[in-house]
Amino acid sequence: MEYDEILHTLQTYGQEHLLKYYDSLPQKDQECLLKQIADIDWSILKLLQSGKAAEEKGVLEPLGALELPEIRKKESAYREIGKKAIQEGKIGAVLLAGGQGTRLGFNGPKGTVNIGLSKELYIFECLIHNLMDVVRETGSWVHLFIMTSQKNNEETVSFFQKHNYFGYDAEHIHFFIQEMAPAVGYDGKLLLEEKGKLALSPNGNGGWFSSMEKAGLLPLLHEKGIEWLNIFAVDNVLQRIADPCFIGATIDSGCASGAKVVRKASPMERVGVLCLEDKRPSIVEYYEMTEDMIHLKDENGNLLYNFGVILNYLFRVDKLEEILHTTLPLHMAEKKIPCLDANGELYRPETPNGYKFETLVLDMVRLMDSCLPFEVERSHEFAPIKNKEGVDSIETARELLKQNGVVL
């Protein structure tokens, strides 16, 4: 797009300030800026005006889970099915590590945080150790795909190289980079990070499969015969990855996806709950539930909306390919966004100063025809590191790691 066309678009949306420094920029930067502006998905402004997620929720109903007692009864059969699938090369794992982890406030990729006490122990290292348990159990390497963003890719890749992939086989590790989205200040104006650069941030964890496609990784999935992908977050240092029991149970169920869930600690716990929406599996956020739903119980006194997701999903690859071009709803999140102030100086806010726009992997579950909620013991599989202190912090994760026999 040419300058005039871009200017016209910006005027339509009241965003001409993005060209404030245009004339002072070298030609190369001018071109980059115009390209960034041409790539903007303007639906973010519509979302900003309406102030809510693009889509309303449908009719919600509870969805039970495959619960621990049942899993224990059939554990060895599930495990065998899962191990066989891994040994046949049908399982891949996808680490979502493109987020900025702003709540933790660490200046670098979250996975590079050292949580050790008497020795170095990095978050990435914990995850690799967990996956190595499965490699040992099955005698097979699992292809691990790591999603990064333009903001942290170089640092992440060189960190893995420097640490020799923590003993993982480098041939089985594949990095790919996710897309970016612009950020907006509270006044509805798009933010600049440099005079010739928009304040762009990773566009959420929902685009991981289309980013894999853009990175040219789908032929590799086919070549290797990978039929299932286990998606997981960077920050849960206790989670089991490519867990044979979970894989076996999901395959056995005939469902197109599976989700690890934990029993809610209390009805009011702020977790996304797996349920049915218009008869399809779906995740409802705690703030989208009514009081009645939150406290609804069955005849035995058990909460009906009782299973929270922990961002560990299994998706069947053929189904992912079917939904590849389906648009996911956009979500807005209030964040601290480094940007230029009125004088054109970079400033790093201490408190949120605007919104980022994201699509979320949890919305993919709804696009699957079916999902097996698979209960896991929270104290053994859920130690997320989200915040600097208090709940879900390094401190709480260390405690849980120790309880599980990990030497820190």
* Chain residues that interact with ligand UTP, rule: CB under 6 A: 96-104, 147, 178, 202-205, 233-235, 311, 358, 386
Residues 395, 389 contacting (CB under 8 angstroms) = yes
In angstroms, what is the C-alpha Rg of the chain? 22
Q: Which residue is nearest to ligand UTP (CB)?
A: 99
Question: Least separation, in Å, of the C-beta of 47 and ligand UTP?
Answer: 16
Two tokens at 124?
A: 């990435």
The DSSP bridge pattern shows strands 228-233 and 91-96 to be parallel
Q: 21-32 burial by CB neighbour count: b if 16+ within 10 A, else e?
A: bbeebeeebbeb
| Complex with ligand UTP: residue 177 or 249, whichever CB lies closer | 177
Three-class DSSP category at 1: coil
Neighbouring C-alpha atoms within 13 Å toward the C-beta of 221:
22
Question: In 3D, which of 139, 107, 142 has the Cα closest to residue 240?
Answer: 142
Q: Reading across the β-sheet that carries 331-335, which strands appear in turn? A: 184-185, 354-358, 331-335
Residue closer to ligand UTP (CB basis): 100 or 210: 100
Distance CA 124, CA 302 (A): 37
Which one, 138 or 239, has the nearer CB to ligand UTP?
239
- Give 3-state DSSP helix, strand, coil % of the chain, rounded to 5: 40, 25, 40
Do residues 193 and 338 touch, judged by C-beta distance below 8 A? yes
Rounded Cα gap, residues 206 and 50, in angstroms: 21
Residue among 138 and 201 whose Cβ is closer to ligand UTP: 201
Nearer to ligand UTP, 138 or 152 (CB): 152
- Rounded to a whole number of angstroms, the minimum distance from the CB of residue 79 to ligand UTP is 26
**Min separation Cβ 232 and ligand UTP, Å:** 8
CB of 299 to ligand UTP, least distance (A): 36
Nearer to ligand UTP, 61 or 193 (CB): 193
